[in-house]
A and B are shown apart, each in its own frame.
Chain A
Amino acid sequence: MSLTVRDFYEAGRESLSLELIRGEKQLDRIIPEAALNRPGLALAGFLQYVANKRVQVLGLAELTYLKSLKAAERRERLTGFFEKHIPALVVTRNRLVPKELLLISEAFHVPVLRTPMITMDFVNRGTLLLEDLTSPRMMAQGTTVDVMGIGVMLEGEPGIGKSETAMALVRRGHSLVADDTTVLQRDSTGDIVASAVDVTQFHMEIRGLGIIHVPSLFGVASMRLRMKLDMVVCLHHQRSMEDVDRTGLAPQSRDILGVSVPVLNLPVGPGRDISLIIEVAAMNQKLKFLGHDAAKELDERLIKTLLRKATR
Chain B
Amino acid sequence: MTRGNPTETGATAASRTFTVTNKYGIHARPAALFVKTCSQFQSEILVEKDGAVVSGKSIMGLLTLEGHHGAQLRISANGPDAAEAMEALGTIFENKFYED
Contacts and interface: CB of A to CB of B under 8 A. Distances in A.
Contacts of A309: 25, 66, 68, 71
A305 interface: yes
Contact of B70 (A243, A247, A298, A310): A310
Contacts of B27: 299, 302-303, 306
A305 B66 contact: yes
Interface in A242-263: 242-243, 245-247, 249
B36 interface: yes
Contact of A299 (B23, B28, B71): B28
B32 interface: yes
| Interface footprint category on B | 20 to 34
B67 interface: yes
Query: Which of B24, B35, B36, B68 is packed against the most chain A CB atoms within 10 Å?
Result: B68
Q: Majority SS of interface residues in chain A?
A: helix
Contacts of A247: 28-29, 31-32, 59
Best-buried of B24, B26, B59, B67 by chain A (most CB within 10 Å) = B24
B68 A249 contact: no
Nearest to B70: A310
Contacts of A290: none
A249 B31 CA distance: 12
B29 A307 contact: no
Nearest to A302: B27
Contacts of A287: none
B31 A242 contact: no
Contacts of A249: 28-29, 32
B9 interface: no
A309 B20 CA distance: 12
Contacts of B26: 306
Contacts of A246: 32, 35-36, 59
Nearest to A296: B28
B24 A306 contact: yes
Nearest to A299: B28
Nearest to B24: A303
A107 B1 CA distance: 96
A308 to B, nearest CB: 8
B36 A310 contact: no
Interface in B67-88: 67-71
Contacts of A306: 24-27, 66-69
Most buried by B among A245, A295, A299: A299
B55 to A, nearest CB: 13
Contacts of B67: 306
A245 B31 CA distance: 12
B32 A310 contact: no
Interface string A181-200: 00000000000000000000
13 contacts: A246-B32, A247-B59, A249-B29, A295-B28, A302-B27, A302-B28, A302-B66, A305-B66, A310-B23, A310-B25, A310-B68, A310-B69, A310-B70
Interface of B: 23-29, 31-32, 35-36, 39-40, 59, 63, 66-71
Given A242-B40, A307-B23, A309-B25, 15 more contacts: A242-B36, A246-B36, A246-B59, A247-B31, A298-B28, A303-B25, A305-B66, A305-B68, A306-B26, A306-B66, A306-B67, A309-B66, A309-B68, A310-B23, A310-B69
